[in-house]
Amino acid sequence: MSFLNAEWRKLAFANYRIDPSVLEAHVPPGTELDLWNGQCYISLIGFMFTNTKLLGFKIPFHTTFEEVNLRFYVKRLDRGVWKRGVVFIKEIVPKPALSFVANTIYKEHYETLRMRHQWDESAMERTVKYQWRKKKQWQSFQVVADLNASEIEEDSETEFITEHYWGYAKINEEYSNEYEVTHPRWRQYRVKSYEIDTDFALVYGEEFAFLNAISPASVMLAEGSEITVEGKKKIR
């Protein structure tokens, strides 16, 4: 049985190209940074959890909620096969029980904050907006995109960002947790415009303050799908 079953919907991505040295201290043992065309990426992502089940059961008041995270990309060579995964600097959710479970069992970096979202559709476009409140300041990430979705091209930047199927979390300087995330290939909405009103230093720490001064290399909106998060194992 999967540890978690859910749907991830309307995933907004803002992808920044950064110096790999920024992430060196965060790379879990047993993994290395995964680059695309020689570039290192970190992504701000907002999306909705829906129809969420933990070990097959729906938990009251914990089935539908927002998440915003900051993540980067790694890979691990396992018996001659590369596993491509992600590492989270921080994951923000509005439910304290979720933060407790993820931080305790998976050694992730969850924080519980007040959150809200807005999805709007017109005849020509859709607007997706995620907000979270840190120290009485509302942060936000909004995209305006086409109404209809299209396929994600092979060997594209979008494919690189969306096609990582493993999660890794650093336990200590010797060990990491590894877990599989399963989902079908996603479809995307062409982004027309975006607005990011986020104080990265406030939310993620001074080491990421530089993101306040640069623009993302790309912004994406994916429809998402049903997903599973499988059980973890310790690696080194």
- What pLDDT, in 10s, does the model give residues 186-222? 999 999 999 999 999 999 999 999 999 999 999 999 9
The pLDDT confidence band at residue 16, using thresholds 50, 70 and 90, is: very high
CA 159 and chain centroid, separation: 14
User: Model's pTM, two decimal places?
Assistant: 0.97
Calpha distance 175→107 (Å, rounded): 11
Identify the domain containing residue 20 by its residue range: 4-235
Sheet holding 125-134, edge to edge: 114-121, 125-134, 137-146, 191-197
- Domain holding 63: CATH number? 2.40.400.10
Q: Which residue(s) pair with 12 in the sheet? A: 46, 221
pLDDT of residue 124: 93
Neighbouring residues of 205: CB distance < 8 A, sequence distance ≥ 6: none
> Distance between CA atoms of 131 and 134, rounded to whole angstroms?
10
Q: Is residue 8 scored above 90 in pLDDT?
A: yes
